[in-house]
Chain A
Amino acid sequence: MPVWLIVAIKSAILLLVVVTAFAYAMLAERKIMGWMQLRPGPNRVGPWGLLQPAADAAKLILKEDLAPRTADPLLYRLAPFISLLTAFSVYAIIPFGASSAGTWAIGNVNAGVLFLLAIASLGVYGISLGGWASGSKYPLLGSVRSTAQMISYELAMGLSIVGILLVAGTTSLDGIVNAQQRLWFFIPQFVAFLVYVITAIAETNRAPFDLVEAETELVAGFHTEYSGLRFGLFFIAEYVNMLTVSCIASLLFFGGWDAPFGWTWLPGVAWFLLKVVCFMFFYIWLRATLPRMRYDRLMAFGWKVLLPVATLNVIATAVVIALRG
């Protein structure tokens, strides 16, 4: 088979998997949030509400696609696709496991982490362009917030990953996972891990950092004017981004597909997915627990706490590695 065909097949399978994962991540979120609020959660469509995602999809597709008269016609329609494209393209390089034949990834990029950061930075365009192109005040405020928030938290996130790069000595994702055979990086890089987890919430615009779509002040933030399928695309992008940051957290800090304590009775992929699910649960759990932060505190926290802490971590890591030779 030609290489491009293999890549196309792999991409198709992965797209299907990620979209299904999105659908059930959304259902899981509604269920878990429900349980935490002493409700049963959605349970009308199918057994235990398992067909709820299908019902939601049908609803979103059938809704009217509205565009405000003041909206920028091209960017308004393009923005959801930018969000979705950047959210999905990260999966081109995420390795899900490894066997003797090689890494289970569509493409194995030796600058994997840099690619991740680059694509994640592009993700902000979908949101900020979408908000700006709506031509109305709440989306604009939401998009301004998102730009400021995502840029400032991306710095701390990048610095927290630098610590990992120093310890692992490589920027390829499977190289980083292989470097964790002995010890998972969340132990030597615990500070970086904390910074990463917090910034990851801010990067995906999730509660308690969901200032971008703060419904109390901004109606629905950047997607106020969006309806139907275009809103659905933003929705998918948000959950896929959640999955992405969970995958990266598992890869960088929890050894990816590496089985803990040598428990190899589960295949590596299963361990990887298990770790991702744990992170997803943690994000849902946080959303059900914490109230939204005030915007000035969010910025102050990012610049005055997370960024210095991440910088100090990089310096300390570098010093330790230099001393050890």
Chain B
Amino acid sequence: MNKHLYNVGAILKGLSITLRFMFQRKPTIQYPSVRKQHAPRFHGLHELRRYEDGKERCIGCELCSSACPANAITVIGAENAPDDRRSPGERYAARYEIDELRCIFCGMCEEACPTDAIVLTPRFEMSDFRRGSFIYAKDRLLVPPTGGVGAPPDGRPGGIPADLGGVAETKSTTDVEHGYDATYNGALLKTHRKGLTG
């Protein structure tokens, strides 16, 4: 009998808990209309950067490809033609493809890159209906000439400090508060969504 009374008490206690939860604030973020601030060093979609003069940073050295633990990167380098120099060095990336379905977004490519050409942006909305569209080639990875240079990856807040050999200074704290957008304006994804490359 005592046990049964105990059970009734337990039910009432449970009811009081659910009733209390009903009036609590909900932690839900209404995602498409309200967006959460990502961490400053969030690893998202890659981009290939340029120098101020518009030349591609990538020199086709394939270090990113060999550093990639997921074998997601394919680079085929080519010699720069004297009359059409794509990059300041001898070589440039004739083809540069990342399979974003293989990519584990670890950022090893970014660390391996000697010229800071490949950088992970905080952009993460990459969903599509075809597997083929997840192979991002230069048409979608390379920043357009008008896209600016962007902040160097080590310059992100929390990056490698200068005394440890880091390159740039940290960006201002307001960038941290408003989320750090290490990329040029987000138009590229939309305009190049249909671009399938072989």
Chain A residues within 8 Å of B, Cβ to Cβ = 32, 35-40, 43, 285-286, 288-290
Contact = CB atoms under 8 A, between A and B. Distances in A.
Interface in B6-55: 11, 14-15, 17-19, 21-24, 26-28, 30
B18 A288 contact: yes
Interface of B: 11, 14-15, 17-19, 21-24, 26-28, 30
The 3 closest A-B pairs by CB, nearest first: A35-B22, A36-B18, A289-B18
B26 A39 contact: yes
A43 B32 CA distance: 13
B15 A289 contact: yes
Given A290-B11, A290-B14, A285 B19 contact: yes
21 contacts: A32-B22, A35-B21, A35-B26, A36-B18, A36-B19, A37-B21, A38-B21, A38-B26, A38-B27, A38-B28, A39-B26, A39-B28, A40-B26, A43-B30, A285-B15, A288-B18, A289-B11, A289-B14, A289-B15, A289-B17, A290-B14
A40 B26 CA distance: 7
B28 A285 contact: no
A128 B184 CA distance: 63
Given A32-B22, A35-B21, A40 B14 contact: no
A67 B123 CA distance: 46
B15 A286 contact: yes
Nearest to B19: A285
A116 to B, nearest CB: 28
Given A35-B21, A38-B28, 14 more contacts: A35-B22, A35-B23, A36-B21, A38-B21, A38-B24, A39-B28, A40-B26, A40-B28, A40-B30, A286-B15, A289-B11, A289-B14, A289-B15, A290-B11
Contacts of A39: 26, 28
Contacts of B17: 289
A206 B21 CA distance: 21
Contacts of B23: 35
A35 B20 CA distance: 10
Nearest to A286: B15
A40 B24 CA distance: 11
Most chain A beta carbons < 10 A, residue from B17, B21, B23: B21
A36 B30 CA distance: 18
B28 A36 contact: no
Nearest to B17: A289
Contacts of B30: 40, 43
Contacts of B22: 32, 35-36
A87 B88 CA distance: 79
Nearest to A282: B15
Contacts of A37: 21
Contacts of A43: 30
Contacts of A290: 11, 14
Nearest to A208: B11
